[in-house]
Every structure is written in C-alpha cells, then in structure tokens.
Amino acid sequence: MLYLHDVWVNWFEGEENGYSVCHFHEWRKEDNIELLDQVPLLYITETLYNYIENDMHDLPSTLLDSIYKRAYTRKGQKRSVVEYACIVTDGNDILAFDTIGYSIPIRKSRLIPRQEQLVFDMIDNTKPQSFKFDDSEYEKEYHMLSMPPEFVFGLTRKERQMKQLLMIGLDQLKTTNNREELRYWLTEWDPKQYPAIRYMDEERVWETLYNGVKEGWSEAHEDLCAKLVRGQPFLEKMWEAEIGPEHNTSSQK
C-alpha cells in the first residue's frame, strides 16, 4: 500500500458536494488545519471517486477494510491512530477523507499543491482499483439545498457560502408557501415584474423567483440574501461570518 506522510488537511465536515470542499487557494487563516502523520493513498476508478467526492453514502467495505487503522494524526509529540482515513485519486482529482469512525466520508479535504503533485508521481505506472463498487444503481441527486455544480461554477468560496444561505432562505419560503410573502420577495428581486406578480399564484411566483436566482451570483443576489436572513439569528450569524461584522444585517434594520 502507498502512504503519504506529513500531510496538511483542512477538513470540511458534512459536505456532500466536492465544490464545497475548498482547494488550497481558498483556505483561510481561521480554518482548522490538521497534520496527518501518515495516511494511505488509494488510486481508484473515476466512478468510485465521484461517489466519494460528491455524496455521503456508505463506502465499500473492501475499501474500509484496506485502510483500517492505517492513518495517524500528530499533535506535538502525540501520535494517534485514525480508524478510517485515506487519500483517494482517480488520476485527475485528489481528495482526503475521514469517516470519524463511521462508514461514510464525513470529513473531506483537498491537499496542498506540492503534495498533490506527489500523489500523481506515486500512482504513475499503477492501475486504479474499483473495490467491488457497483455504480449501476447509484445516481447523484441534486436539489435546492444541494445545488447542481453548474449553479455555483466560477463562484468564490464566499459567494458559494452566501448562495447556500440564500437557498436555505428560499427553502423556508417554499415550505411556508404564503402567496403574499412570495409575491413580496419576487417583487424585491425583480420590481419590473410587479404588474404581473399581482396575478400569479403561489406556484408561478415560486418558480419565477427560483428560476431567477438559481444561476450565478451578483450584487442583486447578495442584497436579496441579506434581506432574507434578517431577523433569523442562526442565518444572520452565518451571513456575518462570510460578509464581515461591518455589514451585519442587524445594523440595517
């Protein structure tokens, strides 16, 4: 088995989509960087890699068995064993994961560029393994709170985070399904449609609003998001973490 040593990881926990696991150039100084003293490296098939990178389902038992207690973390002089952690690559992309004792890739991280190059050098002249993974019944499902990659393509980490907040706010609107409230928010988004909005039913208003905001990111998106999270402490806290306290929505009330 192949191993890497002294690997810096920046764990993103509970992220099912690879686009939310930030590459090194988007790491922040306040992120919690961890050192893996030793970690196994697996060269796997593209289908299995996509399954691990873009979902949170049970990993093949053969893969888990092969990496069991083969990874170690180091903090100072203390070296601790990790039950199920490894680095996987399909020859194009690279991802580290840690199941924190489960059978699901709960935590995911990218590597620093120097170690990414080392991975590609190490798998040269080797063949990918499938670990008996059967993808015939697997199909990735996207939805409002797990957006298709094309909806976030080209966005920065900050913009992706804010867009996720916007989708949480929109999901709440959809759940409440209050016609007047929906009309209000569509008017906020696109005032020019106001004459027509007055005659739309809930479904039409919702579809118009969602279709209007689902792609890209702009100042208009940011403005709508700021207004949607206002008055919701949990979402406001997440918003402030991205936008900074100087733009705290509570000061805009």
* Structural domain containing residue 180: 149-252
Tokens of 237: 């806290």
Separation in Å, CA 116 to CA 101, 136, 144 = 25, 30, 32
pTM for the predicted model, two decimal places: 0.90
| 130 domain-assigned | no
State the Cα–Cα distance between residues 73 and 37, nearest whole angstrom: 5
| 133 domain-assigned | no
- 95 lies in the same domain as 164: no
- 13 lies in the same domain as 88: yes
- 164-218 pLDDT, tens digit per residue, is 999 999 999 999 999 999 999 999 999 999 999 999 999 999 999 999 999 999 9
- 138-150 pLDDT, tens digit per residue, is 889 999 999 999 9
| 55 domain-assigned | yes
- 114 lies in the same domain as 153: no
Among 178, 190, 179, smallest CA distance to 221 is for 190
| 138 domain-assigned | no
The whole-number average pLDDT for the span 24-47 is 96
Place of tokens 């790491």: 27
Separation in Å, CA 193 to CA 63, 173, 179, 196, 209 = 54, 19, 15, 6, 11
Percentage of the chain modeled with pLDDT above 70: 96
The dihedrals phi and psi of 151, each to the nearest 5 degrees, come to -80, -15
| 223 domain-assigned | yes
Tokens of 43: 């060269």
Average pLDDT score over the chain:
93
